[in-house]
């Protein structure tokens, strides 16, 4: 659904994106992380046709951002980090206005707006001016605007930025629900808990280069140095934390008079993130 090929980008003489190759498959929920200035927003702006590649190309559903930007925009929903809203409008007025911009049938758009307002808990605020809403509610309105035309590919830049924990949780749950409905989601965040809790796949960028790409399980296998073994012995459930190289020996010992219940690789994502950035990627 999203294919990035040999992507490079310069700002003046400074190269900020270095030969990026990346493919996001249909139905994936992929978290995009990296320190400030790593190049995340630049790549997202190229994906959404707001910036042109220096060289290379990007394809959304086989449409090129260089050759077919109108087709690309038709198939994506984009949520920028900072979303300006028309605050003198009510939520309904605002969303109906954008449904007309998207060229949606009025009956279809009304049904779609009602469904999305219900999904994000805004149905009882639909006739209130946007100016009266909390930051969290405004962010939800921006999300609805981004997906109102039911695009297949969603590109979200910091979807939970500056939101309280409860609102952040509701947005994450909504993103998982969108994935279950078959949407392809590529989103950037600085919240490592966020990507670890909802993503199957994580891509990390530093200094314009991809330095990490894999599923949570793959990253645990690669970086997890310790294992938590839960076992039952003498009718009591206990656990022991060991080095991953000692798993086989530990299981053999515990199996004598006991029962191993689970073996889980411990994974300190924040520590891995810091080490990779410090190492320069």
Integer angstrom CA distances of residue 108 from 75, 141, 148, 192, 268? 18, 18, 10, 37, 46
CATH class for domain 2-216? alpha beta
pLDDT for position 162:
85
Report which of residues 15 and 270 the model is more confident about: 15
pLDDT for position 177:
95
pLDDT digits (tens, 9 = 90+) for 146-162: 999 999 999 999 999 88
Report which of residues 195 and 26 the model is more confident about: 26
Question: Can you give the length of the chain in residues?
Answer: 281
pLDDT for position 46:
97
194 pLDDT more than 90: no
Where helices occur in 131-262 by DSSP H, the ranges are 135-147, 165-180, 192-198, 216-223, 247-254
pLDDT for position 265:
65
pLDDT for position 215:
84
pLDDT for position 260:
77
CA distance 2 to 278: 30
pLDDT for position 226:
67
Is residue 206 a contact partner of residue 38, using CB atoms and an 8 Å limit? yes
pLDDT digits (tens, 9 = 90+) for 52-83: 999 999 999 999 999 999 999 999 999 999 88
Report which of residues 196 and 267 the model is more confident about: 196
CA distance 72 to 204: 24
pLDDT for position 169:
92
Domain boundaries along the sequence of the chain:
2-216, 220-278
Q: pLDDT-based confidence at 269, cuts 50/70/90?
A: low
DSSP tally for the chain: helices H, then strands E = 10, 13
């Amino acid at each position: 659904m999203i294919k990035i090929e040999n992507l490079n980008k310069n700002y003046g003489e400074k190269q900020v994106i270095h030969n990026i190759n990346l493919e996001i498959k249909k139905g994936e929920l992929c978290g995009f992380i990296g320190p400030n200035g790593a190049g995340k927003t630049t790549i997202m702006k190229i994906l959404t046709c707001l910036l042109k590649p220096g060289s290379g190309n990007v394809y959304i559903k086989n449409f090129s951002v260089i050759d077919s930007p109108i087709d690309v925009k038709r198939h994506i929903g984009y949520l920028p980090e900072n979303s300006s809203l028309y605050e003198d409008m009510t939520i309904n007025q605002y969303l109906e206005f954008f449904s007309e911009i998207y060229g949606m049938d009025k009956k279809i758009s009304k049904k779609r707006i009602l469904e999305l307002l219900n999904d994000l808990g805004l149905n009882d605020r639909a006739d209130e001016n946007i100016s009266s809403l909390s930051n969290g509610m405004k962010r939800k309105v921006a999300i609805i605007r981004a997906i109102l035309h039911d695009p297949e590919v969603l590109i979200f830049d910091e979807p939970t930025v500056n939101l309280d924990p409860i609102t952040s949780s509701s947005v994450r749950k909504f993103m998982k629900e969108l994935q279950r409905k078959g949407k392809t989601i590529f989103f950037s965040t600085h919240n490592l808990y966020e990507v670890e809790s909802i993503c199957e796949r994580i891509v990390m960028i530093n200094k314009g280069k991809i330095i990490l790409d894999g599923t949570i399980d793959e990253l645990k296998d690669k970086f997890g140095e310790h294992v938590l073994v839960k076992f039952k012995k003498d009718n009591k459930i206990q656990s022991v934390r060991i080095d991953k190289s000692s798993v086989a020996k530990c299981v053999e010992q515990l199996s004598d008079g006991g029962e191993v219940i689970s073996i889980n690789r411990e994974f300190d994502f924040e520590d891995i993130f810091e080490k990779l950035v410090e190492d320069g990627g």
